Amino acid sequence: MKLFLSLLCAAAAVTAVADDYASTMYIKGAWGGGSWTWKEMTTIQDGVYSYRTTWASNTGFNTNTAASSSGALWFPKANIKGYDKNVITDGTEVTLVHSAASSTLSVSRTGYGMVVMLLSNNAPSIGDEITVDVYAKNINDDLSFTVTDPDGATVGTYSTYPFSFTVSQSGDYTLYATATDTNDGSTVDETLALTVSEPPVALDFDPTSDELRRCYHEDPATRDITFLFDCTIWGKSASSISSLYVRGSINGWRSSDDCKMIYDSTRNLYYVTVPYNTAKRPGNSGQPEYKFYLNGNYQSTYSGFPSDYIFRNADCNMIVIFAADDIDVIRANSEAANVIKQPSDFDLDTEEGQMEIANYRVVPGTKYLIRTYHPFKWSRTFSTEPYRMRYAAELAANDGVKSDIVLSGDETGSLTSYTVDGVTYQESIPEYYQTMINGGHVLYVGKGYSTPSYNEVYYNPTGDKLAYWINETVDFILSDTNAVPMTIHCRLGTDRTGVFCAILGALCGATWDEVVYDYELSNRLGTQEFRGGALLRYAFETMLGVTDISEVSDLSSAVADYFVNRGALTTGDIEALKVKLNGQETDHVTLSTADASQMPTKYYNLQGVRVALPAKGQLVIAVQGDKCFKVVY
């Protein structure tokens, strides 16, 4: 017997009616191991929905208020409350319960265990009454409950449900549930913690009408940002709001405790203050981007929201503009982002136009590393998509590309078709690329470990993953089996490719102005997307631990020092990288026979290719630890 216990947040009180929840909820899964389809859930109560089914190797589920993937929530198995792979196996009859307010999905064996629903705030304040009810349980089980306060004292014991208790202090309350099998007397216990916060406090300043309309206040001294959700302006009743978060680039677009908004009853608004160092984290626009996440749903901007504070790319997120920012530049960027180009907007009769549509160009600081759009996997259904892949492949074949670095995983086994303007295209691997695959000259970065991701390269550049990926990439480049020229790409060739190329270019001698200029060239694609240089700046300043990247006098040395100190690269690796990708030469010396006998085992020819045993008199690069010499062997 296994007891599954999870918290589901519903209305503000057990008798309250939350009028902001959807009347229907849908769930999408691979039912019976078949194709992914949407199913309508049963409404248990306002904001809580269930669906009973048979478990069939499900990797996870989507939920949404409509049978559409747009705006849907994704719950991988690891994030489904109550999931236990040893108990819930293929063929198990299960009940799935979704709470819109707390954005959770729970699972239990149908007829076994239970789901406990908190019919009040799942993050209550002192003085709140909490009501607990049971949705499903084993018919043979008797249930009992004990609640203790943060000091461990018993608040109450209960043998029937629903039951209520009042929280009187801040800290973690604990709910103990015991299921007793009436047939054999066996028991199973489970616990849940409920954190109680201090009563919310009112704002210590009066927001201006402009701040309320644009939804934030910037502290003139600290530059901290206080986000503001005025219930009147947004047309919402405070009684209908059980949870409200700021989600955005500042927290990886998730509901984090430090971005949960507090209600100020005096002003009828919600607010949360975010420190500048967190609030400054930019999105694709180069500005901090965010949306309000109310009762488990993103909120579109209200009618009349000030246009300067929405970035006009495909996402149309709200943005923070700091007092020191140039609003004219931001307006121009927003206008440039709101563009979807047609094939006729590119001069495809010229190589320059073909390179532009394929996002194809040599990485600054190198001669033999080329960044590009993916040569055979489609990513957008714009009319330009077939041309992007066509020219990415043709240009690479014409340039004699010999090796490829892939930052978006191995997708050779998932070729599919796509339709653009009524014409269906079939993905296929170009001949030159198949030759590279056959020869083992394609690197799928992170394969078997972790494929590079947007959040890691931009927001966690000091983490172990990026160091590992750069080490793996440089090893591939320096391998004597992988010849240049090489291409490097993800899907669009903008984000992961942009950061990797900025790092590799800097290691090979490119300046900050050169790498950021190259990074922003991807905005010529015209896919209603935009990548502001401030996003790359944030990643580099975080990685190097500096406040202003433009004040770093020698970017190449700073980036090299970072990866050498991390143990990801040696100075010898970096010198050899310059030679292979850029043909850069260093001073050389002639070694005596005695010196030669002390030479390290790693040699490279002047093209940067490793040489197992140089010929006598051959001019080579010798690498010994962090030292690198050009020598006559």
Q: How confident is the model at residue 194 (pLDDT cuts 50, 70, 90)?
A: confident
Which of 287, 290, 270, 264 is CA-nearest to residue 228? 270
Q: Which two tokens stand for residue 252?
A: 């990886």
pLDDT of residue 36: 83
C-alpha to C-alpha distance for 176 and 5, rounded to whole angstroms? 10
Per-residue pLDDT averaged across 303-324, rounded? 96
| Degrees, nearest 5: CA angle 380-252-546 | 105
* Mean pLDDT of the region 256-284: 94
Per-residue tokens: 589: 């010396």
Cβ-contact 539, 283 below 8 angstroms:
no
Tokens standing for 269? 């608004």
Among the ranges 185-194, 218-227, 576-585, which has the highest mean pLDDT value? 218-227
- The yes-or-no verdict on residue 52 having pLDDT over 70 is yes
pLDDT-based confidence at residue 30 (cuts at 50, 70, 90):
confident
User: 31 versus 383: which is more confidently predicted?
Assistant: 383
Consecutive H or E run containing 244: strand 244-248
Q: Identify the band that residue 631 occupies on the pLDDT scale cut at 50, 70 and 90.
A: low
Confidence of residue 351 (pLDDT cuts 50, 70, 90): very high
Query: Minimum mean pLDDT among 143-147, 350-354, 548-552: which range?
Result: 143-147
- The pTM of this model reads 0.66
Q: What angle do CA 272, 243, 210 make, to 5 degrees?
A: 40
Asked whether residue 323 carries a pLDDT value surpassing 80, the answer given is yes
Average pLDDT of the chain is 86
Please check the confidence at residue 8 and state whether its pLDDT lies above 50: no
What average pLDDT does the segment 124-129 reach?
A: 80
Q: Is the predicted pLDDT of residue 606 greater than 80, yes or no?
A: no
d(CA 477, CA 630): 19
Q: Which residue has the higher pLDDT, 496 or 101?
A: 496
* Better-predicted residue by pLDDT, 347 or 76: 347
Read off the pLDDT of each residue in 449-468 and give the average, rounded to a whole number: 95
pLDDT for 630: 64
pLDDT for residue 627 is more than 60: no
Pairing of the two strands 486-489 and 403-406:
parallel
How far, in Å, are 33, 38, 614 from residue 28 at the CA level? 12, 4, 61
The whole-number pLDDT of residue 112 equals 56
**Max avg pLDDT among 234-243, 407-416, 621-630:** 407-416
* Residue of higher predicted confidence among 109 and 321: 321
pLDDT in the model for residue 160:
85
pLDDT score recorded for residue 47: 76
**Residue 170: closest CA among 192, 142, 198, 136:** 198
* Residues in Cβ contact with 169 at an 8 Å cutoff, skipping those fewer than 6 apart: 126, 149, 150, 151, 196
Q: What is the pLDDT of residue 610?
A: 61
The answer on pLDDT for 589 being more than 50 is: no
Q: State how far the Cα of 556 lies from the Cα of 457, in Å rounded to an integer.
A: 18
Which pLDDT tens digit goes with each residue over 128-155?
888 887 755 555 667 888 999 999 999 9
Phi, psi of 355 (to 5 degrees): -65, -35
Is pLDDT of 263 > 50?
yes
3-state secondary structure of 189: strand
3-state secondary structure 466-530: HHHHHHHHHHHHHCCCCCCCEEEECCCCCCHHHHHHHHHHHHCCCCHHHHHHHHHHHHHHCECCC
Mean pLDDT of 472-488: 96
Q: What is the pLDDT of residues 209-230, one digit of tens each?
A: 999 999 999 999 999 999 999 9
**What is the Cα–Cα distance from 63 to 46, expressed in whole angstroms?**
16
